[in-house]
A = this chain, B = another copy of it.
Amino acid sequence: MTRPFANALELLRAARLRPTRQRLALARLLFEKGDRHVAAEELHGEALAAQMPVSLATVYNTLHQFVGAGLLREIVINPGRSYFDTNVSDHHHFFYEDDSQLRDIPGDSIAVSNVPSPPEGGSIRRVDVVVRVEKAAHKGR
């Protein structure tokens, strides 16, 4: 009934990553405030602001290690910047083009049907749906 990884230390143990000061700090920032879609430089900024100095290289290393461990999911929508999603359950996204924000679409509200099976010898690893949203229909001219 409790959240899967109540504390950062337990989470790192499960991922078989040494609980260093830096990884603990990043894990807390990532997982202690609900679902997030965060870019590397954004997280780096948060760490510095929280008086937890971490190099940008370590932020990238850690994010990729977390993805490898299944703790994060990497999402690419625009060229030149990746988002890291703390929600690794099956779900899809709204993408707000005006401010480049991602928002979850609950997994059970949306459904993709009749996906053809991929040609010969391929297997489906994942289906990603991105609903691109623009701020508002333009009124008048």
Secondary structure at chain A's binding surface: helix, strand, loop or mixed? strand
| Interchain CB contact (< 8 A) of A133 among B106, B110, B118 | B118
Docked-complex contact A110 and B114, CB < 8 angstroms: yes
Find A122's partner among B81, B118, B134 (CB 8 Å cutoff).
Answer: B134
A112 contacts partner chain B, Cβ-Cβ < 8 Å: yes
* Count of chain A residues near B, Cβ 8 A: 38
Copies of this protein in the assembly total: 2
Q: How far is the CA of A24 from the CA of B112 in the complex (A)?
A: 39
Q: Which residue of B lies closest to A112 (CB)?
A: B112
Q: A133, B123: Cβ atoms under 8 Å?
A: yes
Stretch at the interface among A29-37, A41-49, A72-80: A72-80
